[in-house]
Structure 1
């Protein structure tokens, strides 16, 4: 079994290095997450995993246990910090082993990999998807359903149900049914119901997957 700690550390370090290259205006660009700027996504990545359990429970109680609302508001509050402060704090937690309440270290890695796309995609600053981190993230995400799916526009499990996903740049596939092919980045965006350009996914199942993604975004509150 792959140890996710070193993967998380490597991704945090690489993200901090990337953030150091951003111009001031880049931090204000809307991310792929509704109502979050780039700086808010970074703040969530930095503070989410290290929020004390008591603080999480208190925030949920104050927010009426509306998970998406509480997570969104927390990120916007943390995002008021200066970019340099956020990058410094990200570097400080590179090797931190904590996880948010109710989730595992694997979830921390998946959250990090997915949210980096939320940052890079609108900035038009792609990078090769790290293969091992992608495989772990994708394997986790395709199984997310039920109560755990509340933070997604659409349940990832229902999004990909009955389809076979095949990554063209990483050794990874999942499921049975009409095939959908694409880059690891495009597939992860699709699994998590984020916007994907039609030409990024091919195969007989691509139109079905794109329709499900579109419906999920439209139905999101």
Structure 2
């Protein structure tokens, strides 16, 4: 999944980035409100982690404007304020959850999973498609009773395809979903990851077809 982290504390931001990227997520980092607005204007995110006190403004203003534009991307607020009124305030502005600093990274990961489950309309992380059973948060893939081991980028590529079966994804779109702005990659990298994923799906009843001139589509055979 692709996350946006809005946090001006460099050491905390690095720790969060390292943890989430270790889980295979693509994470862009905005140290201030203006950068966050620039990122959000050009990229669709699965989740935003938002600090409140930022050097050029208040994260609550960003959140309110985000919701005023009818953007429904889940937002978890990172706040050092523990007063009930502050927590209620950000929830009323449209935050999906909050976590009080300092926090344990395992709790942050759990809150991310919970928010994404709720937005997905289910109580389980697992997704099913044909004979596939996929848990994007745990990073596990099973075909019937066989567990298949995938690398992080392969897992995230499968996650993108399963988010919209039968939809055509262009190479440019897949690059956007799999790589952060810090990573300099070409669309040829997508061909490599699609090729690897296809090999893992042999015998599963699921295929990734090339749609000439447009991109790739996952569907049942």
Structure ID, larger Rg: 2
Task: Pick 1 or 2: higher relative contact order, CA cutoff 8 A, min separation 6.
Answer: 1
TM-score by length of 2: 0.30
Structure with the bigger percentage of strand: 2
